[in-house]
Amino acid sequence: MSKAEISSSETRYVARVTEAKGGDGEAVAVGSFAKFLHEIVGDDARAAAQYARLLALFTEKHEPGLRAAQQQQNQQNGQQNGQQNGGGGGAKSDAAAALHPHLAGLCLYLASFAQFRSERQKDYDGAEDLYQRVLALDAKHPLALGNYAVLLHTVRKRYDDADRYYGAATEAHPRHASVWVKYGNFKKHVRRDYPGAEECYRRALAANATHPDALGNYAVLLHGSLQRYDDAEDLYRRAVEADPEHVNNLGNYALFLADVRAKPDEAESFYKRAIALDPAHANSLYNYAVMLDATRRDFARAEKFYRQAIAANPNHAFSHYNLAVLLEEAKKDFDGAEKHFELAIKANPRDALALGDAATFFKNVRKNYDRAEALFKASIDIDPTCASVLYNYGNLLKHVRRDDKAAEAMYLQAVEEDAQHVDAMGNLANLYAETGRDEEAGKLYKKACALVPGHEENRKNYAAWKKKKRRR
C-alpha cells in the first residue's frame, strides 16, 4: 500500500471505532484497528495501546456474560465445562458464535493480540493467558490453537502439550495449510520425525498447492534431512515462483545451489535478491558470506557480510565463529579472532566445533594453555565424537602437559571416530615409538602412509623409525 492508501485506510478505521463507541461492536472495531496498526502501518506503540483497549473492553463488557452463557449451554449439552485443553472436546465453534454476534471478531483480535504479545512484546505469560481465554470461548479457533502450540513449542518447551495442541488444530482445521506447516516444523525440529514432518507438509500443500512456507519448509526437509535433492530443487523452484519476495525461500534456495549443485553464480543471484528485499536478514547474509569465504575465497567481501549478519543479529553465533576463523587464518588479526571466538561461545555455549576451534586458537596462537584445555574439555563433553578436537587436545596433553597416557587416550579416540585421520594416527605412532612399543608404532606408521602416501611428516617419521630400528 502507498502512504496515501495507508492514510486513507487509517481514517476509515478511526471512523469505525468512533461510530462503534459504546456499542457491542466497539471491541471488534478497536481490535481491527490495532491489527491494522501493527501489520500494515508498523506502529507497534499505537497498536499496543489499541490492543490494551480491546482487552479492557472485552474483560469488562463481554467476557463475564459470554462465560456464563457458555457454561449454561455446556451444561445443556451434558458437558461439565467449556474449557479446552488442546486434546479435543469443548463447545463447537458454531454453537459458541450464537452466544454473541461479534464473537468471531473478538476471538480473532484477541488471538492476534496474543501473538503480538508473544512475538513483539515478549510477554509470554500474557500471551498464554489470552490464548487460553480465546479457547475457552471457541475451542477450535485455528489462530489460537496453532499459535498457542507454537508458544508451547518454541518458548515454554512443553513439547507434549504443544503436540496435543498442534494435533487439535489440524484435526479441527484439516484444510488450514499454515497449521500443518507449523506442525511439520515441530515434528522435524523437536521430534526428529522426518516422515511425520513430510506428511504434514504434504497435507499443507494438499490444502494450498502454492503455499510458500509449505513449499519452502518441505524443500529444506528434503535438502537437509532426507538428501532427496531433485525433489528439493523442484520444491524450491515452486516456492520462489509462488512468492518471488519470500526472503527465507530465496536464501535457502541459494544455499542449496551453492552447497549441493555447486553453482555459485546462480546462488549469488538468489542471495542478492534476498538481501535486497531484507538487508537485515542475518541467515542470508551469513550464508552468502560463507560462500564468498569458502568458494570464492573473497575474504574482504566475506568479512563484510559476516559483519552485516552480526549487525543484524548480534547473537548470530555462526557469524561470530566463521568471522573468527577468517580473521585468524586469512588476515592474521588475532585480537579480532579472539574477540569473535569469545562472542561465538557466549552466543552458543554448546557449539562443540566453535569451542574446539577456539581451544586450538588459544593453544597455538595465544599459548594460553589453561584456557585452551578448559575449552577442549567443554567441547568434548558436548560432542565426544569430533576427531579434530580430540586430536588437538591430544597434542596439548602430549607436548604441553607431558601426559603421555592422557594423550594416547585422545589419539586413540580420534582414530576410532575417524579411521582416516592420519594426523592422529601419526602422532599416536610417534608416541608408541618413543615409549618402545615398536610393533604398534610400525603398524600405525604403515597404515597412515598407505592412507595418504603424500603426508610428508608421517613418511619422514616412519623412515626415521625404520632407520632407528635397523640400528638396533
Read off the pLDDT of residues 270-299 as tens digits, 9 standing for 90 and up: 999 999 999 999 999 999 999 999 999 999
Closest by CA to 200, choosing from 216, 227, 218, 220, is 218
Grid cell at residue 452? 595418504
Which pLDDT band holds residue 76 (cuts at 50, 70, 90)? low
Radius of gyration of the chain (CA): 30
- More confident site: 24 or 331: 331
In the DSSP assignment, the letter for residue 23 is S
Q: Measured between alpha carbons, how far is 192 from 190 in angstroms, rounded to an integer?
A: 6
Secondary structure (H, E, C), 396-429:
HHHHCCCCHHHHHHHHHHHHHHCCCCHHHHHHHH
Lowest model confidence (mean pLDDT) among 22-26, 291-295, 317-321: 22-26
Secondary structure (3-state) at 17: helix
pLDDT score, position 88 = 44
- More confident site: 93 or 202: 202
Closest by CA to 76, choosing from 86, 84, 68, 64, is 68
Which pLDDT band holds residue 69 (cuts at 50, 70, 90)? low
Q: Measured between alpha carbons, how far is 221 from 235 in angstroms, rounded to an integer?
A: 10
The residue written with cell numbers 483480535 in the block is: 109
Closest by CA to 443, choosing from 456, 457, 426, 460, is 426
pLDDT score, position 118 = 96
Predicted TM-score of the model (pTM): 0.84
Q: Measured between alpha carbons, how far is 411 from 426 in angstroms, rounded to an integer?
A: 9
Helical packing angle, 26-36 and 103-119, nearest 10°: 40
Question: What is the mean predicted confidence (pLDDT) over 154-178?
Answer: 96
